[in-house]
Structure 1
């Protein structure tokens, strides 16, 4: 049982071979299939109101399908230096494709909601030999537009359909049918240091940026999460994260499978399945769920649901993906009586850097302890860059870095490694943080998210946490609004409960006694019906930054007696249209704002 850093050190004294005997995902799944063949590995919820329609897959069936998929992929030209591009929701076939691809060669899970030209670029960058796409269905249908668009982009590889409810035009085969055909197991090449997967990161525009996962990276994170979360065969874990996200694949997925537990997958929509998440306590009672992994925004949503079922099976809430507000965690624990624990991870670390052990205390603002056999350090800077020769003492704030078996093998384009993957095996996270004397890691901000007002750095999380202390605020996000004088000014957006509309200046007045630094007090707070979210439920701040840009330009126009037309692009590049006679006035008003803009005449 792990509760403290001393427990981790005691574990390390036993040696890596003893603590991590299985070092590839396939070894982990295959071992469970041998030891617990009839236990349920995955329960897929087809209809949240009718459990009789669930699809349950045992570990024996799961392992057999994975090897069959590997055989199919090998027959389509997948070799150790080629990959399978996987564009599916989190489903049984998605899981089968992910691990089967890693046996035959490499997996490349891709967000199917990206623009087709970007998807095509990722497929090429991954040196894919075939593609798996979720087929035609009534619930979430992208086959009919995505596949023709990929063909138009020049992707002439075999494209297989899966998870379809109807024929999928243009498919070169149906994955479920192909893996049902008899055949022999294929040979698994390589070892734990073999490249297992490409995971894309770095946003949805620009050239592909692919993280290279070794098999050991994924297995180390899975086993470490088992140890830190005390997972075992009796655990039932809800995992609605997509498989192109490291949390869905490894932190909650492979960890549960490697422990012999059962994954509950809430259908194609995952955590966006309102029929499932809207009656979450009924689902907990029905399936005897023991662990719920949620981003903080979803934790806030479920906390507000009256408990109308027996939830005594629920052991832990695991929060990750964004900083965990102390007020939210306190309220969830007080209301529901279920402990909340935090996680910090990134794609480049296969999903985990630090984890709060479930048997240790929850420490406000902490994201936990380093993983066993890894190192976490706080770097100072030289010329604005993280410097591994400047490791800071406990209590000092700097840039968080990690090295160990969880750290990926860099980016597929080595030139992109600079500043992130450093000599000596260090991965620079980009988060600002500190370590305490007990080894607990604290995030104080994200360097690129810092709001810079003049020469003053403002941590947006400070504003967000203060807003979340208001009983009527359900979600909050702070960003920088461009300003021609200060560079940026802090502004915020809130989503309120019960349709509450704050009076003018009411929330700013609420913050005055809660934000110690007066320059961090937001200049404006707007309300939104719903926060823009990524597929895993994180607040998508570029959308809010775009709105802040519109606020700034509208304000500048108002001072000139103008109402400019403002269009903010994907990269926050901004086009401003005003009467032709006022072009120079508008340009002058915007000078000094840290944005890319073009002013044109109407």
Structure 2
């Protein structure tokens, strides 16, 4: 728990409910909640959690899909000074159990759809778990809820896959979320009539940031249980949605569903993350008058930290844009700032950047120095200060907007008794952008098949991390330091028509 010795302000939900009580806060599956209603529902749940014994600083994990239940719990836990640990519902039970234990979670809540997965995860984790229905049966304790918050206090621990080893818990304070929302508003502007569609998961930074902005801006968040292009387009046309957060595959599917139609005049922003957009997609958006803001960001920056404005989307094709106010950006190599045009590591700094990783001082010291977050991503700046991202965290695979780190998949493959060593890289895919491909060298005298290794991975990894193909090879490409050269792995794929064993 971070100390409450920084700037304090009225609690966001209480303040927003006081300022604009009748304004619509949420639209979800046919229901509309005003900010007054949201505060009332959150207050009831907070009093139940208080009666159970939840205290300031306690971590609460949520294994839930998008919906009013998850929104209520996020606000109720943090209303009491608790810390939310959102769990990716696509993770395997083993991955979920590890994150719950690592975060020192005191309780976790699961919705009906994910009870089977939670049951499997709880087998190796003794933390108290509740369903939503069980929580609603807890007695409410009459207690005066905190009226103020400190921007220095911890709000969220959100796990992000690391380039090596286990995922790291990114610690995000109220202040990180505040400055992320403020930076976004200074870039996009504020409109009292804005409605922001959250068809991305609320357990991801892009989804959670929409909830934070809703409170701060007094803006309506339109929550969809899952992404559906027809439903997203319908919300824009019929529910007044003016801003949508998407990754490239989502945008492509929305345009396909839109067909020969167009978006209404009130729609003002398609916030695009998950990597640079292809020229053909940007040109289609321009022809249809779809305003696309390309972005660069990560969990560690509490959403986007660099954004490309629509007027530059074709002129600066492939660029992520310029750093948002009040963030800073450097391109460095061996501690030296590089001039325009030269590629190096992207480093960012600003009040929206995390202060570090949960229980990982080593990773924090390695990644954050003098306030600068060294992202591990490679890029360069042009003469006008626009950022071009060359490689997302070196070997990162981005599949349908989800980050897949090869080292994590390789660790699972090498845990199979027949596998001596493994390498994983991304292969182009017309729908998902990239998909993981595995390469394994077997232990001498052992035998196994692709189907067995895929099943082994499915039992231990989220579905999007499982290799779509596994090739058996006699060697893996390495450099003079015996480090795996993942970029050369695809050269080992047998040519079409080649018979016999893989290389």
Q: TM range, normalised to the smaller chain? A: 0.7 to 0.9
CA distance change for structure 1 residues 243 and 204 in 2, over 3 Å: closer, same or farther? farther
1:561-576 to 2 correspondences below 5 Å: 565-566=449-450, 567=453, 570=457
Is the contact made by 2:69 and 2:132 (CA closer than 8 Å) also made in structure 1?
A: no
2:296 to 335, 344, 363: 344
In the alignment, the residues of structure 1 paired with residue 99 and residue 361 of structure 2 have an alpha-carbon distance, to the nearest angstrom, of 17
- The corresponding residue for 1:405 is 351
CA distance change for structure 1 residues 87 and 260 in 2, over 3 Å: closer, same or farther? same
DSSP 3-state at the match of 1:449: coil
1:244 to 177, 193, 203: 203
- The corresponding residue for 1:508 is none
Structure 2 residue 187 is matched with structure 1 residue 228: yes
1:35 to 19, 42, 61: 19
In the alignment, the residues of structure 1 paired with residue 152 and residue 244 of structure 2 have an alpha-carbon distance, to the nearest angstrom, of 31
In the alignment, the residues of structure 1 paired with residue 382 and residue 58 of structure 2 have an alpha-carbon distance, to the nearest angstrom, of 44
CA distance change for structure 1 residues 233 and 31 in 2, over 3 Å: closer, same or farther? farther
Give the C-alpha shift of residue 23 in structure 1: 7.5
Per-residue CA deviation, residues 502-560 of structure 1 (Å, 9 max, x unaligned), is xxxxxxxxxxxxxxxxxxxxxxxxxxxx53xxxxxxx5633xx23xx38xx9xxxxxxx
Per-residue CA deviation, residues 284-336 of structure 1 (Å, 9 max, x unaligned), is 221122122210111111122314576232112110122222331121121x2
- The corresponding residue for 2:43 is 67
Is the contact made by 1:397 and 1:433 (CA closer than 8 Å) also made in structure 2?
A: yes
Size of the alignment, in residue pairs? 439
TM-score norm. by structure 2 comes to 0.77
In the alignment, the residues of structure 1 paired with residue 349 and residue 435 of structure 2 have an alpha-carbon distance, to the nearest angstrom, of 28
In the alignment, the residues of structure 2 paired with residue 425 and residue 290 of structure 1 have an alpha-carbon distance, to the nearest angstrom, of 35
CA distance change for structure 1 residues 188 and 129 in 2, over 3 Å: closer, same or farther? farther
- The corresponding residue for 1:557 is none
Structure 2 residue 111 is matched with structure 1 residue 111: no
TM-score norm. by structure 1 comes to 0.65
CA distance change for structure 1 residues 279 and 133 in 2, over 3 Å: closer, same or farther? closer
2:325 to 347, 372, 386: 372
CA distance change for structure 1 residues 256 and 343 in 2, over 3 Å: closer, same or farther? farther
Give the C-alpha shift of residue 178 in structure 1: 4.9
Where does the alignment leave 5 or more consecutive residues of structure 2 unmatched?
Answer: 1-5, 407-421, 442-446, 458-464, 479-483, 493-500
Per-residue CA deviation, residues 364-407 of structure 1 (Å, 9 max, x unaligned), is 222122122221111113xxxxx3xx122233221101111111
In the alignment, the residues of structure 2 paired with residue 309 and residue 338 of structure 1 have an alpha-carbon distance, to the nearest angstrom, of 8
- The corresponding residue for 2:435 is 541
Structure 2 residue 189 is matched with structure 1 residue 254: no
CA distance change for structure 1 residues 22 and 367 in 2, over 3 Å: closer, same or farther? farther
- The corresponding residue for 2:415 is none
CA distance change for structure 1 residues 490 and 29 in 2, over 3 Å: closer, same or farther? closer
In the alignment, the residues of structure 2 paired with residue 231 and residue 369 of structure 1 have an alpha-carbon distance, to the nearest angstrom, of 20
1:310-459 to 2 correspondences below 5 Å: 311-334=264-287, 336-357=288-309, 363-381=316-334, 387=335, 390-417=336-363, 420-449=366-395
In the alignment, the residues of structure 1 paired with residue 197 and residue 100 of structure 2 have an alpha-carbon distance, to the nearest angstrom, of 30
DSSP 3-state at the match of 1:433: strand
Per-residue CA deviation, residues 160-203 of structure 1 (Å, 9 max, x unaligned), is 326xxxxxxxxxx134x559x58443225751111111101116
- The corresponding residue for 2:114 is 142
2:31 to 35, 55, 68: 55
Give the C-alpha shift of residue 229 in structure 1: 1.5
Structure 2 residue 80 is matched with structure 1 residue 128: no
- The corresponding residue for 1:293 is 245
In the alignment, the residues of structure 2 paired with residue 153 and residue 298 of structure 1 have an alpha-carbon distance, to the nearest angstrom, of 36
Is the contact made by 2:428 and 2:434 (CA closer than 8 Å) also made in structure 1?
A: no
CA distance change for structure 1 residues 97 and 489 in 2, over 3 Å: closer, same or farther? closer
More strand by percentage = 2
Per-residue CA deviation, residues 101-124 of structure 1 (Å, 9 max, x unaligned), is 123211111112322232222222
Q: Whose radius of gyration is greater, 1 or 2?
A: 1
Give the C-alpha shift of residue 206 in structure 1: 5.4
Give the C-alpha shift of residue 591 in structure 1: 5.8
Where does the alignment leave 5 or more consecutive residues of structure 1 unmatched?
Answer: 1-20, 46-53, 136-140, 163-172, 382-386, 451-459, 465-476, 480-486, 496-529, 532-538, 554-562, 578-585
